[in-house]
Amino acid sequence: MVRDVLIWPDPRLKAKAQAVAAVDAAVRKVVDDLIETMYAQDGVGLAAPQIAESRRIVVIDRRPQEDPEKPQEPIVLINPVLVGGKGEAIWNEGCLSVPGEFEDVKRFETITVRALNREGQPFEITDAAGLLGIALQHETDHLDGTLFVDRLSALKRELIKRRMKRLKNEMRAQGKTAKEILEEREAAEDGAAQEEAAL
């Protein structure tokens, strides 16, 4: 089931998520909802706190960004633990809970993570780099109540917070999702640009 994604600022996004005690049918249902919601929102990753579930669960699929023609390949991480990072990378990040905003964030260049899969079996991803490595760090941050905006300057964070509050007010007033509003804005900007070019 596609779930609503919480938009920052929201206190539920700042809470530390609870470890999953056992991978059972209820946990797998949350996993399935996360995957459906991630794809519905055109996301690369999604963490359970973003759909108001205080559980240490993350799903990632870099395919939409790297090769949209490939079949879906979601990675499920339950109780993920980052066990080693190397190097440094600057990545222009966005977030489904901070829609329409993108900023450069400093991360490890490669990361190793241990987790349980959808069936509760342990596995490890070693020296993940590029989009996968960044997504692992970004989504695991959510489990500890950290968003990418927390890694920005206070000024940038405050400007983004104001825009998110305006967006949330528009969502309430218009009865639309953030995605719908942002798509309408983009279409209006494209239309204005085409009119300008025609002059």
Query: Active-site residues: which are they?
Result: 139
Return the HEC string of 105-140. Answer: EEECCEEEEEEECCCCCEEEEEEECHHHHHHHHHHH
* Beta carbons within 10 angstroms of residue 124's beta carbon: 10
* Helix, strand, or coil (residue 56): coil
40 Cβ contact list (under 8 Å, min separation 6):
2
CA dist., res. 134 & res. 149, Å (int)? 15
61 Cβ contact list (under 8 Å, min separation 6):
35, 38, 39, 44, 45, 72, 73, 74, 75
* Amino acid type, 170: E
Residue 122, burial from CB neighbour count under 10 angstroms (0-12, 13-18, 19+): exposed
* Helix, strand, or coil (residue 100): strand
CA dist., res. 190 & res. 196, Å (int)? 10
